[in-house]
Amino acid sequence: MPSRTGILTAVHLANIAKTLSATRPYALSTLYLQFHPQVAANVSCPRALGRFVASVYQSSVTWLGSEVDLRIVTGSLRPNGGSFESFANRARPTTADYLFYDYALSSSGTGGERCLAERYPGVKVVELDTLPVDRVSLPPELDKQLQTYRNVVLGGTFDRIHAGHKVLLTQAVLLATERVVVGVTDGGMIKSKKLHELILPAAHRIEHVKEFLEDVDPFLRYEVVPILDPFGPTATDPDMDLIVVSTETARGGAKVNELRAQNGLNQLEVHTIELLDDESTVEDKEDKISSSNQRMDLLGTRLRPRRPAPAHIPPKPYIIGMIGGIAAGKSKMLERFRELGAGVVDCDKIGHQLYEPGEECYEQVVATFGREILAPDGKIDRRALGAIVFADRAKLDRLNEIMWKAIAKRANEEIRTLHEQHGKQVVVMEAAVMLQAGWHKNCHEVWSCIVPREEAIRRLMERNQFEEREAVRRVDAQPSSNEEMVQHSDIVFCTLWSYEYSQQQAERAWSILQQEMKLKL
């Protein structure tokens, strides 16, 4: 679907729910909501509409749908921004498909709306209501606290900007008269976040924040910087007056002032924003609007567009490489895809088979690691072998060298059998060492299954009866980190939550694949 941008000029703010809902049939990607010059003339300062802005962002998904990026242009409330000429001179948006008005254009005596039509040649003009423009309809309650500050600072992760971020950033904009400084967390600051492996790189998040701020109010100066500790520029910048925090990070404001006192800097006023409730929340998710919920929504979906098939791989069967850490739930995920219709090749099971007496790897492994790895029945004791190789990286590498070539050969044989004899059009090949062995280069795409390190350790202790020290050693000896696996993945799953939520992820991914390939499986 093509990207469509709309600009809504609103004067009847009390009817905003009806007005925004009326734009839904136009299938917009982005909607800019700007205030008619008469609104600016009837409020004492931009901050008066702070509560209104927050309420609109909170309900925007209900009124517009989750696919529309709403941006409320509070800069249109400033003296130098409250005219149609100023609207037309803004750098963004560069293009617009629709100009919406919540009033009858025939009632506008100034004709200033023509500036916008001329700014966007070919744009479609839509009157969403027939009310006259001169009956300004303000929200029932305007903010009574109208104090503003020259320099305002705030911080956050700002991963994939959502309504909660928009409220936080816009409140900072409404409180500022000259400069807004935004610290965007990076490095160790994001490691405690749920599904932190899916957080966008800091450079991308910084660019998204800058773009949003310049969209909603181009009349302030913005400094958006990465921070590696909770304080960022607040620890040293003497030209700061107010810090904006959420109810979740309110203690951080007090900590900032403690540090500033130690550094001989002025104390900052602290402005606290209430977190927005997520009106569409479901079981397993947080009740607030959060980036964590958004990252959970990415599970089982494409993180990047489907790539062309590598030239050296036949188009059929379609091979998916499944990777994942120890105790991440890969085996159960494989069962799900088998039930959905995929052929499944389990390279770990192939590895177990190749340890059996008479198999090509048996004698070589015993000769390399000694007969003490054998059980009384002559079979290789994998626990004894594991104790040796997981304690010595060089020995683990030697074992891999022996096993990987044989496993790849047997896996290819199984893939061919599943396709030619069982008619499987899609084969999921699971291997913990997929990336290290280079087998992902022989797959059409890669899917991964992850859980946090602490959860993997807990599962090993519970499932395998390992002591904590042994569980930690096994987890830390894994060939790939969650971050590395996600970087190579087209689709990611996480089995941290309920069985049902993991099942939904699998079904979502399978549905996407079916639709793309148009296969009857």
Give residues with Cβ within 8 angstroms of 309, minimum separation 6: 315, 444
pLDDT of 289 reads 76
505 touches 336 (CB < 8 A): no
| pTM for this predicted structure | 0.88
CA distance 447 to 306: 12
Residue whose tokens read 């660019």? 207
CB 117 within 8 A of CB 87: no
Query: How many whole angstroms separate alpha carbon 163 and alpha carbon 179?
Result: 22
* pLDDT tens across the length of the chain (521 residues): 689 999 999 999 999 999 999 999 999 999 999 999 999 999 989 999 999 999 999 999 999 999 999 999 999 999 999 999 999 999 999 999 999 999 999 998 778 899 999 999 999 999 999 999 988 999 988 888 889 999 999 999 999 999 999 999 999 999 999 999 999 999 999 999 999 999 999 999 999 999 999 999 999 999 999 999 999 999 999 999 999 999 888 889 999 999 999 999 999 999 999 876 655 555 566 666 789 999 999 999 999 988 888 889 999 999 999 999 999 999 999 999 999 999 999 998 998 899 999 998 899 999 999 999 999 999 999 889 988 998 898 998 899 899 998 999 999 999 999 999 999 999 999 998 899 999 999 999 999 999 999 999 999 999 999 999 999 999 998 889 999 999 999 999 999 999 999 999 999 999 999 999 874 44
The rounded distance, in Å, linking the Cα atoms of 336 and 366 is 36
Alpha carbon distance 212, 516 (integer Å): 33
Bridge-based pairing state of the strands 149-156 and 242-246: parallel
- Cα angle for residues 402, 330, 348 (degrees, 5° grid): 20
Q: Domains for the chain: give ranges and CATH numbers.
A: 5-127 (3.40.50), 149-273 (3.40.50.620), 300-342+424-519 (3.40.50.300), 348-407 (no CATH)
Q: What is the CA radius of gyration of the chain?
A: 29
Chain centroid to Cα 37, Å, comes to: 36
pLDDT of residue 520: 44
CA distance 19 to 23: 7
Q: What pLDDT, on a 0 to 100 scale, did the predictor assign at position 409?
A: 93
Question: Measured between alpha carbons, how far is 408 from 437 in angstroms, rounded to an integer?
Answer: 9
8 Å CB contact between 68 and 29:
yes
Helix, strand, or coil (residue 448): strand
Q: Dig out the tokens for 130 from the structure.
A: 């027939």
CB of 433 closer than 8 Å to CB of 322 = no
> Quick one: which of 375, 432, 370 has its CA closest to 403?
432
DSSP, collapsed to helix, strand or coil, labels residue 272 as strand
